[in-house]
Structure 1
Amino acid sequence: MKIRAKLMLSMGILIAFILFSLFAVTHIQFYIIRDLEYMREKPAFTALKENFQRHYAAGGNSWAGVRAEEMDSGSFFPEIALVSGGSLVVHKGQLPLRTLQDEGFPLFLTDAEGKIGTLFVMDAKQYKTYEFKSMWYGIFPVVVRVSLLFTFVAALVISFFLSRRFTSPIRKLLQGIDSIKKGSGGDVKLPVARKDEFGAIARALQEMNDSLASLERSRKQMLSDVAHELKTPLMIMQGELELAQEIDEPLKQEKVSSLLDEVLRLNRLVHDVLELSRMEAGRAELRREPENIGALLQGLIEKTRYIAEDKNIRVRLRTPEEDIYAPVEKHRILQALYNILINALHYTPAGGTVKIGAGTAVREGRLVVLLTVEDNGSGIASEDLPHIFNRFYRADHSRTRPSGGTGLGLAIAEQNILLHGGSIGVQSESGKGTVFTVLLPV
């Protein structure tokens, strides 16, 4: 069912409910007015009742000769009916007995032996209320027909405008969703300026589209970067091999070593890309074991000592606690810390210092291992800082790709740390150095 039809049906049901409620309320109100009038004029009702009871007693427990006009000397009640033993004894007024029994106020007559009859009466105000009630019941069918006709016309007009107002943003949302499905990227028109629920949905869709567009740009950029990374070593190998084929001479040992370096670099690039893809897709599994983080860092320093000594860089390890254990997969956490430390060594000038800190701290009510890697190198520019964990991103664009690795080191480090339920952050200032902070849950 379309929205326009639903609106018309809803309005019809609403009007019918209002009419039914109006009928029920007025019907009940008539009886309330009748009873309230009795309470207001109770002495007159009581006097009429007592007059009839005295006549019955005076006539030897008989209604012989009773006249309503004599009982109601002041003509206060235009309608009176006395019923005794199931028979009509006396009747005053124009209303049929059945009507008076249904609409009049009952007064029960009794003597010492019990009930002797029932009076059904209406005073002037009760009678006017009954007349109004009768008139209302008479015109109510006409009111219903007019109301239904008015409802149909009003519902048709209102639903036309409301449906246009409601369906217009829906159509725009559907068009936007269709554009998102077709992969239009950022060229999606959605009613984001609206202040209602449609605007909230549009803004959520816009954020989703922006996120998808960003992911698509990242995917294309990654394909371009991977192709570029693969192209350089492949061109070198192709050139060397074609030259050797043209001059028809075997490759010298240094050329073979150079080609092997390029093959190893290609292998490392492919391995890093696959590893990063597995972690980002959530397919990497952890085999956690309690490891002494301090001992791991000490071993890492030994492993990178040749790089530090070659650049005359001092690497210092500060561990206030002798044993700092955390449940980690040794290979992955070493890979993350190695990539961070190598990055610090690359960006620290000769004669500089790299400080590694390890300890425990409380963050957000839980105990964590706090690791820091601080260097006094060139630092990272503020415009580069938000992107350093992106794949293939290099803050120092002057560094050549052969000397700069694959550009995946920090991205892999971040994913490994996130995989452990930890976090990594960086603070840097150009010309003063950089501090990487790693938190691992204990």
Structure 2
Amino acid sequence: MKIRTRLTLSMGVLIVFIMLVLLAVTHVQFYISRDLAYLEEKEAFESLRNEFEHYYGSHGDSWEDVRGARFESTSSFVEIVLSAEEEILYQQGKLSADELRSDGYILGLDQGDRRIGRLYVMNERQYKTYEFKTMWYGMLPNIGIASLLFTGIAALLTVFLLSWRLTSPIRKIINGIETIKQGGVTPVFPEHRKDEFGAISKALREMNDSLRNAERTRKQLMSDVAHELKTPLMIIQGELELAHETGAPLSAAKQASILDEVLRLSRLVHDVLDLSRLEAGMAEMNPRKENLVALLEDLLSKILFMAEDKGIHLSMHADEEVISVSVEKSRILQALYNILTNAVYYSNAGGRIRIHAEIVRLPDRQQPYARIRVEDNGAGISEEDLPHIFDRFYRADHARDRPGGGTGLGLAIAQQNILIHQGWIEIQSVAGQGSVFTVYLPV
């Protein structure tokens, strides 16, 4: 059912409901006014009751000849009906007995514990209220018809305008979604609106941007992987084709060169698969309690030869001998290894790298965290490269064919390994002055 149809039906139901409420309010108001008139002139009502009960007792407990009797208290009332055992015994006024029994005020007549009859009465005020009610009920059908016609026309116009205004942003949103489906130009959504349609439009636009970025990343990944595979494969292919054409055996140097390229391919494939598993949340995790200080000392001993080759001074300081963390040991070692080797690679000969481990309490976190700072005075990272330093295959020096270069996945893998431990990694860097990588892990 379309919105316009629903609005029309809703408006019609609302009109009928208002008319019924108006009728009910009028009906209830009549009875409230009638009872209020009794409370304001209660003495007159009670005098009338007592006078009729006295008549009954003075005539041998009977209503004999009551029809022609005279009662002083009746002068205060416009309408009176006396009923006993469903028989009308006395009547005063213009209304029929049935009308008065329906809308008059009831006074019960008792003799001891026995009910001897009922009086149905109206004083001047009650009678005027009754006349107004009767007149209103008589006019109500015509008023209702006129109101329905007038309100119906007004409602149709209102519904038409409202539905047009409400469905206009919906149509724009649908057109934008169709544009996305057809892969056309950037879709246009009514984001300028301050209502729910504006919020929906903003969410759709952000979702579309996210999908575009994901598709762009996928294409870039395919391009990057192809580029990384191309160079070692061409080298291997060239060496083997040359050996096949000349029939000469491969020298030890050629074999070592081919082996290096095969290892490079193997490392690339392993890193891509590892990063894909991490990003998909499929990495195996068996966390155990480990001493972070001991892990860092073990890592330093493994990369010491790399630093010594470049004359880089490595130093480490820990505020405590034991900093306990619950981690998957291989994953944390891989993350820290990638960060440290990255620091060694980008440090100049004769430079220095300092590692500092400590336990800190952060103002926006409840639990304490282990903080590892890896500081170097190497080449640093420019401001334009800094936001992309953890992107896959991104290299700050933009040199894909540098000798001995890595795959460009090391820092991306390090970040994912830290994230799956509910930690995070930050970086500060100034081009030409060095970088500081800071890792946080929950204690």
For normalisation by structure 2, the TM-score amounts to 0.91
Counterparts in 2 of 1:182 and 1:357: CA distance versus 1, 3 Å:
farther
1:344 alignment partner in structure 2: 343
2:389 alignment partner in structure 1: 388
Show the 5 A alignment for 1:74-93: 75-93=75-93
Any idea what the Cα deviations from partners look like across 1:302-338, whole Å, max 9, x if unmatched? 2212221111100001123223332322222221111
How far has the Cα of 1:69 moved from its partner?
Answer: 8.6
Percent same amino acid at aligned positions?
A: 56
How far has the Cα of 1:359 moved from its partner?
Answer: 2.8
How far has the Cα of 1:393 moved from its partner?
Answer: 0.9
Query: Greater shift after overlay, 82-91 or 225-234?
Result: 82-91
How far has the Cα of 1:25 moved from its partner?
Answer: 1.3
Alpha-carbon distance in structure 1 between the residues aligned to 2:416 and 2:46: 94
CA contact (8 A) 2:51 2:73 kept: no
CA contact (8 A) 1:68 1:91 kept: no
Counterparts in 2 of 1:68 and 1:348: CA distance versus 1, 3 Å:
farther
1:11 alignment partner in structure 2: 11
Any idea what the Cα deviations from partners look like across 1:17-76, whole Å, max 9, x if unmatched? 211111111111111111111222223333333444454455555545546794257843
2:297 alignment partner in structure 1: 298
SS in structure 2 of the partner of residue 304 of structure 1: helix
Alpha-carbon distance in structure 2 between the residues aligned to 1:38 and 1:413: 89
Counterparts in 2 of 1:31 and 1:97: CA distance versus 1, 3 Å:
same
Counterparts in 2 of 1:109 and 1:330: CA distance versus 1, 3 Å:
closer
1:37 alignment partner in structure 2: 37
Counterparts in 2 of 1:52 and 1:230: CA distance versus 1, 3 Å:
same
SS in structure 1 of the partner of residue 368 of structure 2: strand
CA contact (8 A) 1:332 1:416 kept: yes
1:2 alignment partner in structure 2: 2
Query: Greater shift after overlay, 62-71 or 141-150?
Result: 62-71
Alpha-carbon distance in structure 1 between the residues aligned to 2:425 and 2:270: 23
Alpha-carbon distance in structure 2 between the residues aligned to 1:111 and 1:17: 47
Counterparts in 2 of 1:330 and 1:107: CA distance versus 1, 3 Å:
closer
SS in structure 2 of the partner of residue 366 of structure 1: coil
How far has the Cα of 1:414 moved from its partner?
Answer: 0.7
Counterparts in 2 of 1:87 and 1:353: CA distance versus 1, 3 Å:
same
Alpha-carbon distance in structure 1 between the residues aligned to 2:440 and 2:147: 71
Query: Greater shift after overlay, 417-426 or 246-255?
Result: 246-255
How far has the Cα of 1:111 moved from its partner?
Answer: 4.9
1:429 alignment partner in structure 2: 430
Query: Greater shift after overlay, 87-96 or 214-223?
Result: 87-96
Alpha-carbon distance in structure 1 between the residues aligned to 2:82 and 2:356: 108
Query: Greater shift after overlay, 58-67 or 130-139?
Result: 58-67
CA RMSD between the two structures = 2.5
How far has the Cα of 1:182 moved from its partner?
Answer: 4.4
SS in structure 1 of the partner of residue 383 of structure 2: coil
- Name the count of aligned residue pairs: 441
Any idea what the Cα deviations from partners look like across 1:230-259, whole Å, max 9, x if unmatched? 122222233333444454433332222222
Counterparts in 2 of 1:427 and 1:29: CA distance versus 1, 3 Å:
same
How far has the Cα of 1:183 moved from its partner?
Answer: 4.7
Query: Greater shift after overlay, 15-24 or 170-179?
Result: 170-179
Which amino acid in structure 1 is aligned with residue 124 of structure 2? A
Alpha-carbon distance in structure 2 between the residues aligned to 1:359 and 1:249: 60
Counterparts in 2 of 1:270 and 1:182: CA distance versus 1, 3 Å:
farther
Counterparts in 2 of 1:68 and 1:229: CA distance versus 1, 3 Å:
farther
SS in structure 2 of the partner of residue 365 of structure 1: coil
Show the 5 A alignment for 1:237-316: 237-316=236-315
Counterparts in 2 of 1:45 and 1:320: CA distance versus 1, 3 Å:
closer
Give unpaired runs (5+ residues) of structure 2.
none
For normalisation by structure 1, the TM-score amounts to 0.91
Give unpaired runs (5+ residues) of structure 1.
none
2:379 alignment partner in structure 1: 378
Which amino acid in structure 1 is aligned with residue 356 of structure 2? G
Counterparts in 2 of 1:121 and 1:243: CA distance versus 1, 3 Å:
same
Residue 142 of structure 1 pairs with residue 142 of structure 2: yes
Any idea what the Cα deviations from partners look like across 1:141-193, whole Å, max 9, x if unmatched? 33333344345433432222222222222222223333334455x71221111
1:415 alignment partner in structure 2: 416
Counterparts in 2 of 1:139 and 1:68: CA distance versus 1, 3 Å:
farther
Alpha-carbon distance in structure 2 between the residues aligned to 1:323 and 1:379: 31
CA contact (8 A) 1:11 1:151 kept: no
Alpha-carbon distance in structure 2 between the residues aligned to 1:48 and 1:77: 9
Alpha-carbon distance in structure 2 between the residues aligned to 1:60 and 1:245: 144
CA contact (8 A) 1:293 1:326 kept: yes
2:131 alignment partner in structure 1: 131
Counterparts in 2 of 1:245 and 1:74: CA distance versus 1, 3 Å:
closer
2:25 alignment partner in structure 1: 25
CA contact (8 A) 2:109 2:117 kept: yes
Alpha-carbon distance in structure 1 between the residues aligned to 2:324 and 2:111: 101
Alpha-carbon distance in structure 2 between the residues aligned to 1:424 and 1:439: 6
CA contact (8 A) 2:48 2:73 kept: no
SS in structure 2 of the partner of residue 227 of structure 1: helix
Alpha-carbon distance in structure 2 between the residues aligned to 1:401 and 1:199: 49
CA contact (8 A) 2:347 2:378 kept: yes
Counterparts in 2 of 1:251 and 1:73: CA distance versus 1, 3 Å:
closer
Alpha-carbon distance in structure 1 between the residues aligned to 2:329 and 2:415: 15
How far has the Cα of 1:2 moved from its partner?
Answer: 1.8
How far has the Cα of 1:79 moved from its partner?
Answer: 1.4
Counterparts in 2 of 1:339 and 1:2: CA distance versus 1, 3 Å:
same
Residue 175 of structure 1 pairs with residue 183 of structure 2: no
Alpha-carbon distance in structure 2 between the residues aligned to 1:96 and 1:200: 66
CA contact (8 A) 2:77 2:122 kept: yes
SS in structure 2 of the partner of residue 438 of structure 1: strand
CA contact (8 A) 1:344 1:354 kept: yes
Alpha-carbon distance in structure 2 between the residues aligned to 1:297 and 1:117: 105
Any idea what the Cα deviations from partners look like across 1:60-116, whole Å, max 9, x if unmatched? 555455467942578432212222444322211111111111111223344568544
Alpha-carbon distance in structure 1 between the residues aligned to 2:64 and 2:312: 133
